[in-house]
Amino acid sequence: MKLVITATLAATASAFAPAASTVRTTPSLAASLNGWTPDESAFAWGLPGSLDPAPEFDPFGFAKNTDLQTMKKWREAETQHGRVAMLAAVGMLVTEEPIEYHPLFEADNKDIGPAIRHLDEVRAVEPLFFLAFAAFIGALEWNRALKGFSKPEGEFEFQQIEDDYYPGDVGFDPLGLKPKDSADFAVMQTKELQNGRLAMLGAAGMIAQELQNGKEIFVNLGLAQDRFDPSSVPIQF
């Protein structure tokens, strides 16, 4: 676990280094696809995400001879899973010892335990909130489907991506961080992808660790006191 966290922090910093872009722009596609022109001869159809020291990393050859529609679906899935994993990785560390910030629990009265069981506690104490939370996630996914996926009519393929939809660009940018220049956008997306990939590995490692012994991350690292009493929560560990 120490190696996972160290590698995550180190590689996250390197992800903010300038990245070479393989994006090719044309005036006709610059507005709809953020300057990206699909290039069958390029790795992953020229999508951003390749970064030194391991450019075009694809040991199992998933991107080889892959059609454009499939490649866009894979990039859409990778981007969304990376975003969720980044939130999960930060959320797990913040809600556990020694920080223990959680808007749903009175952490000052008792230790709330490992983050992998927090939603179980929510469901046990307040099922309606859990259902509302699930409905909120469903609404976000519904909006993403309307934004980027084709309607099931005519010649339709399951999970068919719209031709003018750039994978992951759901239009959510409340802080206005999205670059207008296509080259800058490619660099920013590469950073997002790299951090998302690391977060998926990091979150998976933390979840596996907590499932293995039921202890919080910093407790496992010896950096926090283990104050958790399983009998203090309405679920079985």
CA 62-63-67 angle, to 5 degrees, is 110
180 belongs to an annotated ligand binding site: no
Q: Cα separation of 162 and 231, whole Å?
A: 51
209 carries a ligand binding annotation: yes
Residue 78 marked as a ligand binder: yes
69 marked as part of a ligand binding site: no
Establish whether 87 is an annotated binding residue.
Answer: no
Q: Tell me the residue length of the chain.
A: 237
- The answer on whether 84 is annotated among ligand-binding residues is no
- Residue 144 labelled as part of a binding site: no
Do the Cβ atoms of 220 and 98 come closer than 8 Å? no
Q: In the numeric block, which tokens belong to residue 180? A: 């207008």
* CB-neighbour burial class of residue 111 (10 A; exposed 0-12, middle 13-18, buried 19+): buried
Residue in the block written with tokens 């951090």: 195
- Rounded Cα distance, 82 and 18, in Å: 20
23 C-beta neighbours (distance < 10 Å), count: 21
Q: How far apart are CA 225 and CA 36, in angstroms?
A: 50
Q: Is 119 annotated to bind ligand?
A: yes
CA dist 121 and 234 (Å) reads 7
Torsion of CA 32, 37, 43, 47, to 10 degrees: -20
Binding residue positions for chlorophyll a: 78, 81, 83, 119, 191-192, 195, 197, 209
Binding residue positions for chlorophyll b: 125
